[in-house]
Structure 1
Amino acid sequence: MKPGQVHHSFEDTSLRIPIVEIYPLKQLSPAALKSVKYAQIAASIAEIGIIEPPVVIRDQLEPQKFHLLDGHIRVDVLAKRGDTEVVCLVATEDEAYTYNRRISRLATIQEHKMILKAIEKGVPEERLARALNVNITSIRHKKSLLEGICPEAVDMLKEKQVPLNTIGQLKKMRPVRQIEAAQLMIAMNKYTISYAQSLVAATPDAMLLRPKKKIGDLTAQQVSLMEQESATLDRDFKTLEQDYGTDHLDLVLSSGYVTKLLGNAKIVRFLAQFYPDMLAEFQKISEFRKAA
């Protein structure tokens, strides 16, 4: 390559490739085949076709055959539909290449913004519902998802997989408390509805849009004491988090290295051929890191 020349990560044109000539680097688990994500992708393909082409790389010995880097669910759906070909992007990098690290999966807030843009462009709500495999009520609910959430909290959670009901709990708080709650969720890496409800319960009435209902026979003093204890626990957690940071960093670096190894198609093929058990354990580590 000449100095200053930009190296392309993909071939200049996409290719229509027979599905039988595409070899996946992993098999979809039974759980993945039954997942909501699989059903949504299948519904989207049935309604509007492939939006994001799968990514493949040529086999070094047989260039007319391809290894699938990204798009395992899409290709599986197409194969089961009876399609024989699919348009793919062809990657040129093999060493330390992991396509999944270069894209961001659709988070809840990103999906909300995508729905708004689609509606602004004239896409009917009914078609969006079919494409996402949800009912029309869900689409309408997602349209108003962020009403009542302050911009700072939205920005903090925009790349997180936050359940819709959790966002509903945030709407019960005033903006300053929304930001505190978002910070705690990120620090705990916990976005469940039950955790959000616990944060609401621990919030003083002055930081809620509506005062909490009286809890049984508890006095105002007892409720105030519970709120103070919760605030103390939050501070203690943040202190512990600082001590935890070094160990967590080591774990992140180690799992990141394993993920980088699995991004090398040569290494994956070698492990699959000679050390399949080791490959399975490495994949578990990599999947755990992505989930975290």
Structure 2
Amino acid sequence: MKRDSSQPPRSVNRGFEDDCVTLPIESILPLRALGKSAKSSRKYRQIVASIAQIGIVEPPVVVRNHDQSATWLLLDGHLRIEALKDAGTQEVECLVSTDDEAFTYNRQVSRLAPIQEHKMIRKAIERGVPEEKIAAALDLNLSSIRRKVRLLDGICEEAVAILKDKPCTAAVFGALRKMKTIRQIEAAELLVNANNFSVAYVSAILAGTPQAQLVDSSKPKKIKGITPEAMARMEQELARLQEGIASIQDTYGQDHLHLTVIKGYVGKLIGNARIVRYLAQNHPEFLGEFQTITEITPVEAASPD
């Protein structure tokens, strides 16, 4: 569709000023107080270790204080600023925000998924960074770094692609590693469809995996607290669940379209005062159902990523 040339082009609002600024730390005013346990948290120790090894990676975000020109308001980076103070640092380079809404920064933080962390560590090692320095920067011991490096050993590329941005623990990949390629893909899809990446759920999937789909198919499955009879039942239930999911996926798009059209039509109906009055007097049960339909929220919008 062509844009109307008579209309001026819309400009995009910038989130930050063009240049970073180097500020005295004492001129930066935090917008919230740190909790009593903040400095004893693992996150704070990792920030301290990272700053000591490689300096500030992500600059704090500040906004100009219009009440006092000599001071700045800290929107994001409270732990980083506190770590710098403890290290005796006097100045820090900051990003200058054009928006003073502090809550938006923490809400839009994208946490590093385990697979992304694995790739980051592998890339650093390939570039010649010693494992010991990475461990020090992340405040981890050397064995933990080596486990993260081996995280995807035995995991097929298709399963990795499905789970690349998901919060899967090492135990999840440990369970997947016991499955053959096709089953790894099926298990990864089950995890995503259920939006459940817990150890308990992946253990249930492993328990429900037929013996022939295990890497070591000659070795009987042994899962603590689950009898062979229970595992056999789980295999049957999981197979039925997968069939159900497959059938739903085949018609999901069409069903979603129908629901959207129905919701819009019903919304117009109960937007008419005469129709609402008639339903309220003669069919109140229909009116309640129609109102429920108009309040339906799509799954994608209802569940935060």
Give the TM-score of the pair, scaled to structure 2.
0.70
Amino acid paired to 1:64: A
Report what 1:169 is aligned to.
175
Report what 2:85 is aligned to.
79
What is the rounded CA distance, in whole Å, between the counterparts of 1:178 and 1:127 in structure 2? Answer: 33
What is the rounded CA distance, in whole Å, between the counterparts of 1:224 and 1:67 in structure 2? Answer: 60
**CA offsets per residue over residues 182-228 of structure 1, 9 Å max, x none?**
22222333222232222111111122111352659967x87544310
Choose the corresponding residue for 2:201, options 195, 201, 209: 195
What is the rounded CA distance, in whole Å, between the counterparts of 2:37 and 2:203 in structure 1? Answer: 29
Please, which runs of 5 or more residues in structure 2 have no aligned partner?
1-7, 260-294
**Pair 1:21 & 2:27 matched:** yes
Q: Assess, with a 3 A threshold, how the Cα gap between structure 1 residues 178 and 21 changes in structure 2: closer, same or farther.
A: same
Report what 2:163 is aligned to.
157
Report what 1:117 is aligned to.
123
Higher relative contact order, structure no. (Cα contacts within 8 Å, ≥ 6 residues apart): 1
Q: Assess, with a 3 A threshold, how the Cα gap between structure 1 residues 83 and 218 changes in structure 2: closer, same or farther.
A: closer
Q: Assess, with a 3 A threshold, how the Cα gap between structure 1 residues 21 and 249 changes in structure 2: closer, same or farther.
A: farther
Amino acid paired to 2:234: M
Question: Given that residues 159 and 188 in structure 2 are in contact (C-alpha distance below 8 angstroms), is that contact kept between their aligned partners in structure 1?
Answer: yes
Report what 1:277 is aligned to.
none
Report what 1:227 is aligned to.
235
What is the rounded CA distance, in whole Å, between the counterparts of 1:28 and 1:236 in structure 2? Answer: 48
Amino acid paired to 2:163: L
Report what 2:279 is aligned to.
none
Amino acid paired to 1:109: I
Worse-superposed segment, 60-69 or 231-240: 231-240
Report which of the two structures shows the higher radius of gyration computed on alpha carbons.
2
**CA offsets per residue over residues 253-280 of structure 1, 9 Å max, x none?**
6x9xxxxxxxxxxxxxxxxxxxxxxxxx
What is the rounded CA distance, in whole Å, between the counterparts of 1:71 and 1:65 in structure 2? Answer: 16
**CA offsets per residue over residues 152-191 of structure 1, 9 Å max, x none?**
2212222222111221111111222222222222233322
Q: Assess, with a 3 A threshold, how the Cα gap between structure 1 residues 205 and 77 changes in structure 2: closer, same or farther.
A: same
Question: Given that residues 22 and 94 in structure 2 are in contact (C-alpha distance below 8 angstroms), is that contact kept between their aligned partners in structure 1?
Answer: yes
**CA offsets per residue over residues 4-40 of structure 1, 9 Å max, x none?**
7664322222112122222233333345443322222
Please, which runs of 5 or more residues in structure 1 have no aligned partner?
256-288
| Cα distance, 1:104 vs structure 2 | 2.5
Question: SS state of the match for residue 99, structure 2?
Answer: coil
